Amino acid sequence: MKCILNIAAATAVIVLQLTGCSGISNHGTVSEYTADNEIMTYSPVNMDKRIITIGKYDSFVEEPLEQALEARFPELDIVFLENLAGPDPVAYMALQSEQGDLPDLLFCKVNIPDNDFLYDLAPEGVLSRYNLSSLNSLSIDGKLFQLPTINSVQGIVYNKTLFAEHGWELPDTLDEFYALCDEIEQTGIRPFAACTKYMEQVVWLSLGFSYDEIFSDMEKQLHYNEFVQKQASCENLLEPAFLVLKDFYEKGLLSSDDFSASITQYGYSLLNGKTAMMPRSLDILRLPQEEGENCELGFFGFPTKEPGQSWMQMISGTKLSISKDSMEDEQRRKDILDILDYISTNDGQKVLQEMFYGISSLTSYQQESAIEFDYIQECMENGRILYPAVYGSDHDVEVFRKWVIGDLTMEEMIQANDNFKTFNELDLLEEMPIGSALEDFSVLETSIYNADIMREKTGADIALMLNRNYFKGNLATIYQGDIVYPERFYLKGVNAGDALTAYEVTGEDLKLLLEHPIINETEVNAMYAPAGLKMVYAPWASANENIQSLTLEDGTPLEDDRSYTVAAWAGSIDERYITSIAGVFDEFGTNQDLMTSAIREQEEIRPARDGRVILEWKKENSVRRNKDEG
């Protein structure tokens, strides 16, 4: 599970306790990677090289780019950091920026509004290599904060292996699509599943199956653009899209539960053959390879009423940004621009294609490597690939749920959509604080605080919060001062029905799960932040050696055959480690609800620096770092 230490070995080991100050930044100086109160990365960092950090504000496999950059620039160590705390990456970036915590480079899917913390790429010469329309789509009053590295295409992804086993044919028209869904349903497999938890998914689904009525001529396309820009009503335009959703609901292809479902779990259902089709972008086609599954996924366009007229939606994919602060250092600036230059070459784009399936924005790049590109190219050449903007925000999804279940009339639906406001994530930082932090917390200290609250509320012997893991783990930190944006405590991959739960776990299984965390049936390289336990943890040790020491909080050894109650969020402890469920605490809502309530109740909080977690690093690289030490 764990990476073997690859820096020069030291003969002595120093033990550093969680008793010091935090303020760990993402800029890549030597000391922060071996701090006593933070784990920046679970992979070893080569301190003899210049370090460039790349923030992940989305889930993707980073190894192809990390390996390519380190081969191209052997003087650099590229360190990827999990940074997406909460559903609103721009809001969290702004918080990080205020504390000097932004990584050097940032990969993010969402479009970023005007801001003062990202570097303006507009003057850079590499832009001449990119498609002008892609650049214009991200330009803000002549400024460019994001490089359109890879665009994606939205259509229908299907389990190609499943289709072959059953002899199902791809539908060429809407009628054939509905007939196929009926045929698949007879086998007990869900024919079509759309996660409508997010506004973009709702818009893509409703527009995807109403092309004939909404986008079939230029006048209608212009009307849609005017509506998105708040220059026209959606009346006499989007009614067919709304009716698509209601029709899907009545046919059983869309349910009320879809509006609170996990898009990640839906992806696994497609991969595992429990679902046959779903509306998604090309990105998901890499899932079988990532999960090591012997299954093939395919892609086709949204069918229309006429045969041979399927269409696709071009969407802005993963984009690259640069921290403005990072460009102040001359050497770091040169390193970053060298990386930018490499990414903007055909070789660099080939690497990105391994990470983000889609369409390159580089004008010179040949697209033959893109999955299903021939099919996509045919749609492009015949004008059946459009870039419909998404309107509204995730806060508006409830309107669509009420519509499909019959709680809104068409008139009310039109009025509600006309009144949707453009959402700027930075506005979230202007809301009332939920409390105050007397000191800075590191991410690890935030995870420990979270675990303490979980234990207190459930009365369990122990509580565990997965630390710095994209799915079902805490990625947030709490900075000194007013605490805004409680959305940072949202746990990705924890479904709406997944409650805080107390499990019965034996001492033997507890030791195993702490050394071998399993999330979504895959072992992950991460640590559980504990409440009720003391541990010595070596983040960069080899497999089976991360847990150096483990006891109860009073120093009493764990008994293998004794049962302990362990509080955790549903799904964050694999079933193989669980003996039984001791209690379900759904009254506390989500983790965001739990943390918000606790902080409001306490009003002022500070990290629990009680030495419960001791991080073990190699001596020559171990040093405490304060934020004001630079």
* pLDDT tens track for 371-413: 566 767 777 666 677 778 889 988 899 999 999 999 999 999 9
Q: Do domains 13-150+318-361 and 152-315+373-419 have the same CATH topology?
A: yes
> Which CATH number is 13-150+318-361 given?
3.40.190.10
CA distance 452 to 457: 9
CA distance 584 to 569: 10
Instruction: With a cut of 50, say whether residue 23 has pLDDT above it.
Output: no
Across 373-480, the runs of DSSP E, i.e. the strands, are 385-386, 435-437, 462-467, 473-474
Q: 504: which strand partners? A: 565, 580
Instruction: With a cut of 60, say whether residue 463 has pLDDT above it.
Output: yes
Q: How confident is the model at residue 25 (pLDDT cuts 50, 70, 90)?
A: low
Per-residue pLDDT at 518:
97
Q: Which long-range contacts (CB under 8 A, 24 or more apart) does 209-217 make?
A: 209/174, 209/244, 209/248, 209/302, 209/303, 210/240, 210/241, 210/243, 210/244, 211/302, 211/304, 211/311, 212/240, 212/304, 212/305, 212/306, 213/240, 213/241, 214/238, 214/240, 214/241, 215/311, 215/386, 215/388
619 close to 10: Cβ distance less than 8 angstroms: yes
pLDDT digits (tens, 9 = 90+) for 211-245: 999 998 899 999 999 999 899 999 999 999 999 99
Q: How confident is the model at residue 91 (pLDDT cuts 50, 70, 90)?
A: very high
Q: Which residue, among 110, 182, 102, has the nearest Cα to 146 in the 3D structure?
A: 110
pLDDT digits (tens, 9 = 90+) for 239-298: 999 999 999 999 999 999 999 988 888 998 999 999 999 999 888 888 887 777 788 999
Q: Which residue, among 48, 50, 34, has the nearest Cα to 621 in the 3D structure?
A: 34
Tokens of 89: 């990456």
CATH superfamily of 432-629: 5'-Nucleotidase, C-terminal domain (3.90.780.10)
DSSP string, 55-90: EESS----HHHHHHHHHH-TTEEEEEEE---SS-HH
Task: Give 116's DSSP letter.
Answer: S
CA distance 390 to 402: 20
Per-residue pLDDT at 403:
98
Across 476-562, the runs of DSSP E, i.e. the strands, are 481-483, 500-506, 518-519, 522-523, 527-531, 533-537, 547-552
Domain boundaries, the chain: 13-150+318-361, 152-315+373-419, 432-629
Tokens of 454: 């979980």
Q: Please give the average per-residue pLDDT across 176-181, as a whole number.
A: 98
Per-residue pLDDT at 12:
33
CA distance 47 to 51: 8
Q: Which residue, among 92, 32, 18, has the nearest Cα to 57 in the 3D structure?
A: 92
Q: Which residue, among 407, 411, 57, has the nearest Cα to 259 in the 3D structure?
A: 407
Instruction: With a cut of 50, say whether residue 21 has pLDDT above it.
Output: no
Residue by residue, what is the 3-state secondary structure of 175-225?
Answer: HHHHHHHHHHHCCCCEEECCCCCCHHHHHHHHHHCCHHHHCCCHHHHHHHH
**Of 4-18, 223-237, 278-292, 331-345, minimum mean pLDDT range:** 4-18
Per-residue pLDDT at 29:
52
SS3 38: coil
Q: Which long-range contacts (CB under 8 A, 24 or more apart) does 539-542 make?
A: 539/39, 539/41, 539/42, 539/615, 539/617, 540/2, 540/3, 540/5, 540/42, 540/43, 540/44, 540/617, 540/618, 541/2, 541/5, 541/616, 542/2, 542/3, 542/4, 542/5
Q: How distant, in Å, are the alpha carbons of 131, 156, 379, 495 from that of 470?
A: 32, 26, 35, 14
Instruction: With a cut of 80, say whether residue 595 has pLDDT above it.
Output: yes
pLDDT digits (tens, 9 = 90+) for 431-455: 999 999 999 999 999 999 999 999 9
Please state, rounded to an integer, the average pLDDT across all residues of the chain: 90
Instruction: With a cut of 70, say whether residue 627 has pLDDT above it.
Output: no
Q: How distant, in Å, are the alpha carbons of 172, 440, 564 from that of 336?
A: 47, 29, 49
Proportion of the chain above pLDDT 90, given as a percent: 73
Q: How distant, in Å, are the alpha carbons of 21, 30, 449, 454 from that of 35?
A: 9, 10, 18, 26
Architecture of the domain delimited by 152-315+373-419:
3-Layer(aba) Sandwich (3.40)
